[in-house]
Amino acid sequence: MKTLSKIVALCMLLTFTYPSNAQVTAMASRPAVFSNFSSNITATAVELDKSFTAKTGSAIQLNFGNNFSFTGTVLSSVQKYKNLKSVIIKSPFFKDALLSISRRIDDDNTVTYVGRILNENSTDGYQLVKDKSGKYSFNKIKTADLIQDF
């Protein structure tokens, strides 16, 4: 009986450790698409606004700081509410990475942008952040912190 319980315990241990090992292997095999670019890329409101004038299906090029250019096709441009608009752009130059940007206009006409550049098959990406002085930049992130494999 003791042998049987040891075998059952060993099987349970192997069952629980296998999925965690597979997840580490899957993350390790992903490339870093943005490894040649800076960890911080400046983004002006003028350049971010260009994405909101493009129509779905059209080509667009956004030129940000640090010689970072995001060229792609507008997949979606949606005006959800009168003060909220979102755009998704797909770039073949970054292995089909998606740039998603949303613009919110508050009651006092303050404009706020949020966004990310992500590729589900990459270990890196960017998140659009606003600093204390009101300037925007894309900060490099690890996609493993955001995307969970099932």
Q: How do the domains of the chain map onto residue ranges?
A: 1-30, 40-145
Query: Residue 17's pLDDT is what?
Result: 57
The pLDDT value given to residue 27: 47
Q: Are 112 and 49 in contact (CB under 8 A)?
A: no
What pLDDT is stored for residue 140 in this prediction? Answer: 93
What backbone torsions phi and psi does residue 27 show, to the nearest 5 degrees? -70, -35
Residue spans of the chain under pLDDT 70: 1-29, 145-150
The whole-model pTM stands at 0.76
Tell me how far CA of residue 15 lies from CA of 6, 8, 26, 48, 86, in angstroms.
Answer: 14, 10, 18, 48, 43
Q: What is residue 138's predicted lDDT score, i.e. its pLDDT?
A: 95
Taking the C-alpha atoms of residue 96 and residue 52, their distance in angstroms, rounded to an integer, is: 20
- pLDDT recorded at residue 4: 54
The pLDDT score that the predictor gives to residue 22 is 46
pLDDT of residue 7: 59
Q: Write down the pLDDT at residue 149.
A: 54
Listed residue (29, 91, 85, 23) closest to 55, CA to CA: 85
Identify the pLDDT of residue 25.
43
